[in-house]
Amino acid sequence: GEKVEQHESTLSVREGDSAVINCTYTDTASSYFPWYKQEAGKGLHFVIDIRSNVDRKQSQRLIVLLDKKAKRFSLHITATQPEDSAIYFCAATNSAGNKLTFGIGTRVLVRP
């Protein structure tokens, strides 16, 4: 089955800098890649996604890049703010499109 590896377990960045989280996946048939944010003691909150028919998507300060050849996708948080501090999860669908496989999460800390 699909395996998703999230390469950074923790990231510490200075406020205003960018944070980059990298993920790789194994199933070449995966077509949907969402990102979720989890704040302390809360559930996961959807932040942005990308589909396999594009290689870049931006929503305000969030940019997602997808490299299908390398089976790699990444989340770029630009101009980081203290409220960006959280755990971020990447995920990918299986070939049937009915299940998500998650990475283990990246804890992002934005320092003042």
Judged by the rule CB under 8 A, the positions of this chain that interact with other proteins are 1, 6, 32, 34, 36, 42-46, 49, 89, 93, 97-105
* Spatial distance between the Cα atoms of 43 and 9, rounded to a whole number of angstroms: 19
Minimum CB separation of residue 16 from other proteins in Å reads 29
Q: Of the two residues 5 and 20, which places its CB atom closer to other proteins in the complex?
A: 5
For other proteins, give the closer residue by CB, 3 or 14.
3
Which segments within 15-55 are labelled E, that is strand?
19-25, 32-38, 44-51
Compare residues 3 and 111 and give the one whose CB is closer to other proteins: 3
Specify the DSSP element, H or E, that contains 59.
strand 56-59
Structure-block tokens of residue 85: 């501090």
